[in-house]
Amino acid sequence: MPSPQEQKTSSEASGTQEKKLKPCCACPETKRVRDTCIIENGEENCGKLIEAHKACMRAAGFNV
């Protein structure tokens, strides 16, 4: 039988993988479109796409 510490570590590891989403992996659809726009048109011309990506990130739980 695992010790309480081992049980805690095991449950934390599985919970972390399910709940923790890295910012680089969140909202790939809006990120791709935003990045393409910035490369081709410059950041100043992509405000709506940047804001859409920020909204998506906030919906995913990130403080942007």
Annotated binding site: 24-25
So where are the chain's domains? 28-60
Which stretches of the chain are DSSP H helices?
4-19, 28-41, 47-59
28 alpha carbon, distance to own chain's centre: 8
Contacting residues for 43 by C-beta, under 8 A, at least 6 apart: 50
Q: How confident is the model at residue 19 (pLDDT cuts 50, 70, 90)?
A: low
Q: Considering only residues 43 and 16, tell me which one the structure prediction assigns the higher pLDDT.
A: 43
Annotated binding site for Cu cation: 24-25
48 alpha carbon, distance to own chain's centre: 19
pTM above 0.95, yes or no: no
Interval 30-62: pLDDT, tens: 999 999 999 999 999 999 999 999 999 999 999
Can you tell me whether residue 21 is helix, strand or coil?
coil
Q: Considering only residues 51 and 11, tell me which one the structure prediction assigns the higher pLDDT.
A: 51
Tell me 14's DSSP state.
Answer: H
